[in-house]
Chains A and B, each alone.
Chain A
């Protein structure tokens, strides 16, 4: 971020010469579009971006970016991205991943990247299905989901990415919907500017193998009543008529109607994304239809020291105090004798 940009970049500067090969109607196209726009808004030079991915439909993403890119192996993108960022903290490192890549085969690397708070931006395309292998259930598929490998319905509980991120001491968690390019773009910019691991879950639609999996909250007729877009410092109000809100009722969140039962706008909770205590953030991240609206926007954005900076600081400190200045010093350190 400290670098100065020679000229303002536009979204098309980030488009690579590769033909985009996602299915027509796939939600990935809109996410790619939002990233192109977000990068144009940021302060990095194009050569300072590195896009890293694992395996899956989403992981083809780096090929479509005119930046440095590394298409890795299944599940390991968090580890590759971590190595890249730790090796060169000046880079803006993005990991593009899916629900299978990040939360099944790559679950271990994912939680540890979050725990370490390496400054990478993880964009998690969540379509609740394995698309590239043509339709098996994923760790985020809803209980009972009927897929090719669960013809009688799954019998396992899904992961909720937000819950997992907060459980792994995550500092930044946001959620958007593939079709809401404007919101995704805003979130990407905020994620890039926030130091530490930022996880952005995008509710993405797989038109072929899991079409309309998010439809009950994304369809135009109901979305205003079934989504709440959180903004830091603003009351948590939603609904077509902006007349619904969230309050704290004992230890739980509760949906109330403004104007009913003496509730006024002043009673509505104000979103504080920077609160260190994750309690409310966890409840917000876990809200699910039909009991609650699904929370979108930046749910949590807390400042904390990053891994790669701590590594650099330690090196600088030891360099100052160590008596060993060059290789020959090292080789001659400790007990030596002349023959």
Chain B
């Protein structure tokens, strides 16, 4: 009975589930997040897993984690440090001990803390001693043994029994946060409709964990995190990759075009190809190509044929696609290239996040090769920016590079579902049969977009290609002045997109001492840090860039409103370099991190304070 339960009201709390990569931590974390979302909390999640599918069992390299930050207030980041850590083995403790808040609660599966397990994790003395966790709320639970007992007599094989021990941990955490189990049980009932034994096993273990937590006194107090006050509407959880895929489906529907994706699987972008492969009911043609180059070239072929064409990749794949992006620039065909950035260079850190592809996106091609570059900044706004990327590509007849990253791709958050009728229209410059004096490179005088004559349209037969084009007819031209005219026109066409995008806005103080400048997936951490600074009386604003090429036309004015500027990125300063080139009259401080990890709010505040206190 929980009558004497001590309850602590919390604005927000961070929980990290951690175990071997085969321990089902991603599922455990996802189920917990879904329950929290249904309860009405705002939340942000962040899965953190190794690139090996099954790294050596029990080693630190094989630890898979899932962090969820939930709150009564608006939540922007998955949280820096955890209030509660579930560690299914010693390696999980080793990997996460430094990410604990002082005095945090740690639930350990004591069965796995034997000599063998400790050895694999590299512990020589008592891990609690070694990690200096003596003052923490350490709860040692023989999870493996208790799971086995809970399933006694059910007739399950040992492998299946061990596989359900993550549900014991989840049950305990549900009790800790006073959450009902129904949603999770319903999940298993749906997932294993034809395997009632599996449903029963998971239900029993989940309940056993819940009951166990209630019985032992060590777990009190429990945390109470009330529902958040967020705008009215219908909500769902969504991660960045799914949101990106749906943004393209929405754009295809609005443009009245077929959606084609040509892609090659690559971490962490694969989810986009997978999601679109599932969406045949929307007529999506998904093509898993033989390589990255074929991914973009099939998409370009589909664009030529009149589809909304998309290719998705990560840094190494973007490198392979460069030549074909040049072809898209030259042929002025619409295409969206999604780069879900990961740690580089080369194979780098495939499952870790980074923002080091910016220069590659802007300039990584031969010749003067301008493309529009846009970056999403939260898992859910990947939908909006994918939609915008497609709209710009189609209406301006240009390739658009949409930048995402591993943090956005895999992270999820509640999303207020938009209505299709509220999305803007998309009007590509398609030419119809009967168009008089058609010239393939004739342009709209405002946007400079060329006309799009699609094969199958009578009377508009024409040829395009990678050789320099005559400025009007599109036939091959080696004329020096024509080349210069075309180089300048292609650049100008991309620059004119600035006339069609929203002005840059600043969040927080509109003028003041420090302007924080960021782009991409660091938004949540930056805005949280800026808000914290403002609470402490500093005059700080955040300029988070979504349109990178072209930049909105009011950037320079905004820069002038602050005494100091700091550009924060998960690279060595690529955006800072870009801004220095564009707006040379300003001095830019930098905060950079390249650990394959997001910023922490704590380190940002520290860095900002230091900059503000300098002369």
Query: For residue A331, which residue of chain B has the nearest CB?
Result: B417
Roughly how many angstroms separate A317 CA and B594 CA in the complex, as a whole number? Answer: 47
Roughly how many angstroms separate A215 CA and B299 CA in the complex, as a whole number? Answer: 41
Roughly how many angstroms separate A268 CA and B465 CA in the complex, as a whole number? Answer: 49
The size bracket of the interface on A is 35 or more
**A84 interface contact, C-beta 8 A:** yes
Write the nearest CB–CB distance from A43 to chain B, whole angstroms.
Answer: 15
Q: Is the CB of A82 within 8 A of B301?
A: yes
Partner of B305, one of A18, A88, A318, A338: A88
Interface membership of chain B positions 233-267, coded 1 if the CB is closer than 8 angstroms to chain A and 0 otherwise: 11111000000001001100100001010100000
**A193 interface contact, C-beta 8 A:** no
Q: Is the CB of B299 within 8 A of A83?
A: yes
Q: Is the CB of A71 within 8 A of B466?
A: yes
**B583 interface contact, C-beta 8 A:** no
**B602 interface contact, C-beta 8 A:** no
Partner of B307, one of A72, A79, A87: A87
Write the nearest CB–CB distance from A123 to chain B, whole angstroms.
Answer: 17
Query: For residue B40, which residue of chain A has the nearest CB?
Result: A339
**A4 interface contact, C-beta 8 A:** no
Q: Is the CB of B294 within 8 A of A335?
A: no
With a CB–CB cut-off of 8 A, which chain B residues contact A82? Answer: 287, 294, 298, 301
Interface membership of chain B positions 281-319, coded 1 if the CB is closer than 8 angstroms to chain A and 0 otherwise: 111110101110110011111111111010000000000
**A129 interface contact, C-beta 8 A:** no
Interface membership of chain B positions 573-609, coded 1 if the CB is closer than 8 angstroms to chain A and 0 otherwise: 0000000000000000000000000000000000000
**B554 interface contact, C-beta 8 A:** no
Write the nearest CB–CB distance from B157 to chain A, whole angstroms.
Answer: 31
Q: Is the CB of B417 within 8 A of A76?
A: no
With a CB–CB cut-off of 8 A, which chain B residues contact A90? Answer: 456
Roughly how many angstroms separate A112 CA and B291 CA in the complex, as a whole number? Answer: 10
Roughly how many angstroms separate A83 CA and B301 CA in the complex, as a whole number? Answer: 4
Query: For residue A320, which residue of chain B has the nearest CB?
Result: B281
**B488 interface contact, C-beta 8 A:** no
Partner of A86, one of B40, B302, B327: B302
Roughly how many angstroms separate A314 CA and B417 CA in the complex, as a whole number? Answer: 29
Q: Pick the most buried of A81, A87, A112, A338: most chain B CB atoms within 10 A of its CB.
A: A87
Query: For residue A311, which residue of chain B has the nearest CB?
Result: B285
Q: Is the CB of B294 within 8 A of A108?
A: yes
- The interface size of chain B toward A, counting residues with CB under 8 Å, comes to 69
With a CB–CB cut-off of 8 A, which chain A residues contact B458? Answer: 45-47
Q: Is the CB of A70 within 8 A of B301?
A: yes
With a CB–CB cut-off of 8 A, which chain A residues contact B502? Answer: none
With a CB–CB cut-off of 8 A, which chain B residues contact A318? Answer: 280-281
Write the nearest CB–CB distance from B70 to chain A, whole angstroms.
Answer: 14
Q: Is the CB of B291 within 8 A of A86?
A: no
Q: Is the CB of A87 within 8 A of B323?
A: no
Q: Pick the most buried of A46, A47, A55, A108: most chain B CB atoms within 10 A of its CB.
A: A47
Roughly how many angstroms separate A63 CA and B418 CA in the complex, as a whole number? Answer: 46
**A202 interface contact, C-beta 8 A:** no
Write the nearest CB–CB distance from A10 to chain B, whole angstroms.
Answer: 16
**B191 interface contact, C-beta 8 A:** no
Q: Is the CB of B300 within 8 A of A47?
A: no
With a CB–CB cut-off of 8 A, which chain B residues contact A87? Answer: 258, 260, 285, 301-302, 305-307, 309
By a beta-carbon cutoff of 8 Å, the part of chain B in contact with chain A is 34, 37-38, 40, 230-237, 246, 249-250, 253, 258, 260, 262, 279-285, 287, 289-291, 293-294, 297-307, 309, 323-324, 326-327, 331, 416-420, 455-467, 475-476
A-B contact pairs, 27 of them (CB 8 A): A47-B459, A55-B466, A62-B465, A69-B464, A70-B464, A71-B463, A71-B467, A72-B297, A72-B465, A76-B294, A76-B297, A79-B294, A83-B299, A84-B305, A86-B287, A88-B455, A91-B456, A112-B290, A318-B280, A325-B281, A327-B249, A330-B249, A330-B279, A336-B235, A337-B235, A338-B232, A339-B232
Could you list 12 further interchain pairs (A-B, Cβ under 8 angstroms) beyond the known A47-B461, A83-B305?
A: A18-B463, A65-B463, A68-B455, A70-B304, A73-B324, A80-B298, A82-B298, A83-B287, A109-B294, A315-B280, A327-B420, A330-B279
User: Which 10 pairs, one residue from A and one from B, show the smallest C-beta to C-beta distance?
Assistant: A83-B301, A71-B465, A83-B298, A79-B297, A322-B281, A69-B463, A87-B302, A318-B280, A87-B305, A68-B455
